[in-house]
């Protein structure tokens, strides 16, 4: 049963911010830590990143950057992890990650994924309305399946909590400093998500959202 969960958005080898987030979760006695993937492709060391996740017992899924790395694709992207720098241990860790994980909470079923379900490049952004939502096939596939009350994801690097047709999407954001580096704690018993900004050596308490928040289409 998922109760209080630490949420880590797209990591992109941000070792120091990952250590900071894991330390915050330990200080808050978080029971479970979840990662939405995109562990690879960043300025830091991939092997160290994977070791930190393993040591902390983080439950992670694979993102599109992890998939690309394993397939040797898109290695020309900025900050792409060089294939020569991928240790056998890191490769094995990434290869073993599932695309999705499911959990149960007191408020309903929780789906952990990178994008939307098996589609690791799909997402919903805070500003998406009208046609942007209506044409989002991966979103409506999740809604129509009716198997998840909550979706914890990433990909867009845009932290948010948004409910659409009975499915609440919790985007965990990213650790990437070029965007807004954050982590979060989701309390499924009390019904809230608390966001934290990771600003260098300091951690700042940011927005708090309710898990039952709804917005019209």
- Identify any residues that bridge with 196 across adjacent strands, giving them in sequence order: 183, 205
Q: From CA 153, how far away is CA 168, in angstroms rounded? A: 11
Q: Is residue 216 part of a domain?
A: no
pLDDT band at 132 (very low <50, low <70, confident <90, very high): very high
Q: Is residue 217 part of a domain?
A: no
Number of domains in the chain: 1
- Residues whose CB is less than 8 angstroms from the CB of residue 39 and which lie 6 or more positions away in sequence, other chains included: 11, 12, 13, 46, 49, 50, 53, 60, 63, 65, 66, 94
16: CATH: 3.60.21.10
Pairing state between β 32-35 and 59-60: parallel
Q: Is residue 77 part of a domain?
A: yes
User: Is residue 213 predicted with pLDDT exceeding 80?
Assistant: no
**What's the whole-number mean pLDDT along residues 190-197?**
97
Per-residue pLDDT tens digits for 59-74: 999 999 999 999 999 9
CA proximity to 172, closest of 202, 144, 196: 196
Range of the domain at 82: 4-210
User: Given this model, what pLDDT does residue 201 score?
Assistant: 87
Q: Is residue 139 part of a domain?
A: yes
Q: Is residue 45 part of a domain?
A: yes
pTM for the model stands at: 0.97
Q: Is residue 101 part of a domain?
A: yes
* Number of alpha carbons in the 13 Å side-chain half-sphere of residue 92: 5
């Amino acid at each position: 049963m998922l109760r209080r969960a630490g949420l880590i958005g797209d990591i992109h080898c941000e070792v120091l911010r990952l250590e900071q987030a894991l330390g915050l979760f330990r200080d808050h006695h978080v029971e479970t830590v979840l990662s939405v993937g995109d562990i690879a492709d960043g300025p830091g060391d991939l092997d160290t990143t994977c070791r930190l996740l393993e040591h902390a017992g983080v439950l992670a899924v694979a993102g599109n950057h992890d998939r690309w790395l394993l397939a040797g694709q898109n290695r020309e992207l900025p900050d792409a992890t060089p294939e020569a720098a991928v240790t056998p241990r890191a490769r094995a860790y990434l290869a073993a990650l599932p695309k999705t994980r499911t959990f149960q909470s007191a408020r309903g079923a929780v789906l952990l994924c990178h994008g939307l379900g098996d589609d690791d490049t799909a997402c919903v952004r805070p500003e998406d309305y009208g046609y942007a939502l209506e044409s989002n096939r991966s979103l409506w596939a999740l809604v129509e399946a009716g198997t998840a009350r909550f979706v914890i994801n990433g990909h867009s690097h845009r932290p948010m909590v948004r409910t659409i047709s009975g499915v609440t999407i919790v985007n965990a954001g990213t650790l990437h400093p070029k965007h807004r580096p954050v982590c979060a704690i989701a309390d499924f018993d009390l019904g809230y998500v608390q966001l934290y900004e990771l600003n260098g050596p300091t951690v700042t308490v940011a927005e708090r959202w309710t898990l039952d928040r709804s917005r019209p289409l």
